[in-house]
Structure 1
Amino acid sequence: MRIRLKRYLFLVHRWLGIVACVFFAMWFISGVVMMYVGYPKLTERERLQHLPPIDAQLNLLSPKQALDAAGITGPLSELRLANASAGKPVYLISPTNKKSDAMGSKQPARVGSTVVIDAQSGERLRNVDVQHALASAAAYAGKGTTVSYLDSVDEDAFTHSRALDAHRPLHRIEINDQDATLVYVSGKTGEVVRDATRNERIWNYAGAWIHWLYPFRGNVFNAYWTDIVIYLSILGIVAAITGTIVGITRWRFSRPYRNGSHSPYQNGIMKWHHIAGLLFAVITITWIFSGLMSMNPWRIFDSGAQPLRTELMQGGPLTISTQDAAPKNLLAAIDHPVRELRWTHNLGLSTVLAYGAVGAPSLLDSHSATARTIDQNALLASARQLLPASVASVEQLDHYDLYYYAREPHTMGGGSEKPLPILRVIFDDPHATWVHIDPHTGLVLGKIDSHKRTSRWLFAMLHSWDWLPLLDRRPLWDILLIILSLGGATLSITGVIIGWRRLGKKLRAV
């Protein structure tokens, strides 16, 4: 029985390993590339820096006039003003619709499609043609830089993100700069929604594109991509675990083999594979498992918690009236170039966030155009309404910690703004929810419940080693991950060679 079980372990590891080691090798090597070049993205900071400043001398429509031109009368989920489409000032309006069910109760708000209104003429953008897209790309590139139109695509190697679904089809335009930057312009709003330099594009084929198995996206395998990644990871874990058991049982710790070696393999690829497997088995299993966790398989990290009641915290939905100040008055109140105005409803007051190229936004009362500050006591009192549960405690974070931290923009979790200080409101609800709030703007930055905190450990911590003592001590983080990745790659590549030889023998015997 024992001999039979041992034989089964050998067979499972051998034949699963022939397939799994190919993917292991790709994942280890591409993972090192992703440490320095990530999947292309347009970060919020990049977007603002490339937006031309709004000209305070222009006679722009008021927010109410823009909504009237769009024929929108209800509450909004978002209202922005920026030179974001064809390099011209436009209002980008996202209405919020609420549906009632058969019993008459209100369902959660859903965001409608974005409506784009020319802030000077009031004309509604209905079609983003080639000339419009070229103008948007030229504004993004800046003065003195030419652009060249390539084509229109629904999805390509650098636009698999589901966040871009609302903008498809996308216009692809190349900026004639030293980086040969490729920009993607939304076919719906005319905004630049992604950029990718030549360096990013080249390295991505050896990095994120292969690491996330994107060759299976955008083709006949697209519908099965998630399952392919999940089940390949599971097969990889089984191959690695069985290989570890086989490797340990074949290693003689106290009594060497006749050749004096602790391994039965005297030299060559088999010995390298055996030793590399014993040295790097744990990290291999850990990385494959944490990669599986990144997919949230079978939605195990979805807690089913109800959404935050942000409208209650804000004191009602965002609505616009004739009392809202004209852009000229708002811009005159700011002493630096403004790239975007964003309207919000905050603690019962209509507020405008004025964003520059860098730094935190300035806050203005949207009616009087005077500077506004957030009352901390009122903010905390309102934050208690986010969930129908009591608040266990409130913390102020002046430094990053294990659950709120910044990563480099190119990384998977990087690119989003992580301001400090922030408030962490801890609720005594069944899901142990934490809500992060920016005390400067009064906006909710995000929430994390017990399921998401578990995901943070099983994915980000185990896979990317997002541990502040290491991240704050680079290049120690780099050195450790590269050494471990090279060890895993050695294990994988030797496995590929062994598998290739084994298959060759089998095929020649047929």
Structure 2
Amino acid sequence: MPLRLNRTFRHWLYLTHRWIGIVTCLFFAMWFISGVVMMYVAFPGLSDKERLAALPDIAWEKATLSPDDAMKAAGSTRYPRELRLMMLADEPVYRLGDWSGKRQTISAVDGRAITEISGQQALAIAAMHPASKSPRFEEMIDRDQWSVVARYDPLRPFYLINLGDDAGTKLYISSRSGEIALDTDRTERVWNWLGSIPHWIYPTILRQDQPLWRQVILWSSGICLVVGITGIWVGILRMRLKRRYANGNITPYRGWMAWHHITGLIAGAFILTWMFSGWLSVNPGNFFADRNTAREMLQRYAGHDAATFAAKWPIAHHPAVEARFTWVDGMPLVITNSRSGERTVLDAATGTAAVLPQDRLWTAATKLLPRSQLTDKIELKEPDFYWYAHHRDREFPVLRAVFNDDAQTWIHISPVTGDVLGHVDSSRRTYRWMFNALHSLDFQLLLKYRPAWDIVVILLSILGCIVSISGVVVGWRYLKR
């Protein structure tokens, strides 16, 4: 009886891997090839550097409304999550974002709410972009392949403006506020059809429905995970290292099937961990904690919640394309950004340059988690396993406040502006190893000596492609029979 059960189990093991693998090997091949493309071409987005480069200098002399006036005009009852002053074409405006996600634009000239801009205004905004040559209006769009995600919802619909440059740059300008929400160029648009779109299964019709898209990712990667596990199992059962097959090989197969067997054994662990980490990317069961910092924490850190800003107004004219009004430990600050991204911190009361003492930042940090103790104060001057700049911008040096709460929380703070840059707890640190490390191989040793990281990832991806493509060929032959 046990022998019969063993044969039955093997029979179903082989059948499961063979017939599910026929379809899923296409997904495997697609994911390996698109993953290599994604190493060098990211999904289109608007970086802070690109956003600032497209803004004109603030015309301070036109900004007659103070931040307090702007909050009053917007009907704010508490200090907003963000409050910025910048130009909308030739008019200074305040941009406010509250804690519910609502965004408002208030003229700094006369206090009127700006809820709509014209096509001519959109063209004027596009003309100020550094890549602009002969901007022209293409169409009004609500959602397309590049603006599909929900974070753009408060800004829709968009004027799509072609800048007429050699790169084929297009701007998505909000018809509600005049903000540049997104830019894309021809290279991004072409390569992403071979990169992020197939890799993330990202067609607009699917991605616009977030819950449905998430289920598709969970089930498709979950089924592929089963194929990977059964494949390694079958591969081990069919391998002979000591009592070899008649031809002296460790595999009974020839041709494409032999390639599939041998490369599957060599790269099986990588494929399995890569598949498992991809499945974790959508946080199944919400097992891992949210990465966002809670509103209550940020408000305690700011030390101010009323819809007021104690600023000398008009502030001394300071060359900048953006001014941000914020509080740190009950201290009002104006943080200005130049077009090149250079930041200057101003004392709001005097309008003069200010330097934030680290002692005050550490004091403010204790208020983030008042029921826990700040057990360690670290100034991080170079990347480590949890704060590094792979495919993202990271500020250095950065302050790390370590707490002894149940979640073992770390808060990262900018020593220049005092901004809370993010937080990680034990759950997110586990996620870093189970997703980022396994899926992107972002180990510091490899990243420090690039192109070592590129070589390792490409070689493993080639092995994965051989396993996948050979599986497709073998599966097609089975189907033809």
TM-score, normalised via structure 2 length: 0.93
- Write the distance in 2 (CA, Å) between the matches of 1:419 and 1:302: 23
1:319 aligns with 2:323: no
Tell me whether 444-453 or 220-229 shows the greater mean CA deviation: 220-229
The structure 1 residue matched to 2:347, chosen from 356, 365, 381, is 365
The offset of 1:123, in angstroms, is 3.0
- Write the distance in 1 (CA, Å) between the matches of 2:246 and 2:63: 91
Residue 388 of structure 2 aligns to a residue in which SS? coil
- 1:92-131 matches, cutoff 5 A: 92-95=95-98, 110-111=99-100, 113-131=102-120
Unpaired segments ≥5 residues, structure 2:
none
Residue 330 of structure 1 aligns to a residue in which SS? coil
RMSD: 2.2
1:2 aligns with 2:6: yes
Counterpart of 1:126 in structure 2: which amino acid?
A: T
Pick closer, same or farther for the CA change 1:297–1:271 going to 2, 3 Å: same
The structure 1 residue matched to 2:356, chosen from 360, 370, 374, is 374
Give percent identity, aligned residues only: 39
Counterpart of 2:58 in structure 1: which amino acid?
A: I
1:397-422 alpha-carbon deviations (Å, 9 max, x no partner): 11110001112xxx3xx2x4x22111
Partner of 1:19: 23
Partner of 2:55: 51
Partner of 1:254: 242
Residue 111 of structure 1 aligns to a residue in which SS? coil
* Alignment check: 8 A CA contact 2:148 2:208 kept: no
1:152-175 alpha-carbon deviations (Å, 9 max, x no partner): 222211123332222222222211
Residue 229 of structure 1 aligns to a residue in which SS? helix
Pick closer, same or farther for the CA change 1:73–1:298 going to 2, 3 Å: closer
Pick closer, same or farther for the CA change 1:467–1:52 going to 2, 3 Å: same
Partner of 1:32: 36
1:171 aligns with 2:175: no
Counterpart of 1:81 in structure 2: which amino acid?
A: L
The offset of 1:133, in angstroms, is 2.5
Pick closer, same or farther for the CA change 1:59–1:448 going to 2, 3 Å: closer
1:97-146 alpha-carbon deviations (Å, 9 max, x no partner): xxxxxxxxxxxxx335221122234332121332232222222346x622
Pick closer, same or farther for the CA change 1:290–1:352 going to 2, 3 Å: same
Counterpart of 1:384 in structure 2: which amino acid?
A: T
Partner of 1:330: 316
Residue 245 of structure 1 aligns to a residue in which SS? helix
- The alignment covers a number of residue pairs equal to 475
1:66-99 alpha-carbon deviations (Å, 9 max, x no partner): 344444454322211112x34532111234xxxx
- Write the distance in 2 (CA, Å) between the matches of 1:286 and 1:89: 51
Tell me whether 480-489 or 250-259 shows the greater mean CA deviation: 250-259
Residue 379 of structure 2 aligns to a residue in which SS? strand
Partner of 2:374: 391
The offset of 1:305, in angstroms, is 10
Partner of 1:235: 223
Residue 122 of structure 2 aligns to a residue in which SS? helix
Partner of 2:324: 342
- Write the distance in 1 (CA, Å) between the matches of 2:194 and 2:33: 8
Residue 423 of structure 1 aligns to a residue in which SS? strand
Partner of 2:279: 292
- Write the distance in 1 (CA, Å) between the matches of 2:454 and 2:120: 45
1:276 aligns with 2:263: yes
The structure 2 residue matched to 1:403, chosen from 386, 401, 406, is 386
* Alignment check: 8 A CA contact 2:171 2:183 kept: yes
Counterpart of 1:369 in structure 2: which amino acid?
A: G
* Alignment check: 8 A CA contact 2:293 2:422 kept: no
* Alignment check: 8 A CA contact 1:51 1:339 kept: yes
The offset of 1:2, in angstroms, is 1.3
1:91 aligns with 2:67: no
- Write the distance in 2 (CA, Å) between the matches of 1:34 and 1:88: 39
1:297-329 alpha-carbon deviations (Å, 9 max, x no partner): 1111027999352222221126335x52335x3
The structure 2 residue matched to 1:439, chosen from 415, 422, 427, is 415
Residue 140 of structure 1 aligns to a residue in which SS? coil
Counterpart of 2:410 in structure 1: which amino acid?
A: W
1:470-494 alpha-carbon deviations (Å, 9 max, x no partner): 1111111111110110110111011
Counterpart of 2:279 in structure 1: which amino acid?
A: L
Partner of 2:86: 82
* Alignment check: 8 A CA contact 2:292 2:423 kept: no
* Alignment check: 8 A CA contact 1:338 1:354 kept: yes
Tell me whether 28-37 or 187-196 shows the greater mean CA deviation: 187-196
* Alignment check: 8 A CA contact 1:338 1:356 kept: yes
- Write the distance in 2 (CA, Å) between the matches of 1:165 and 1:305: 19
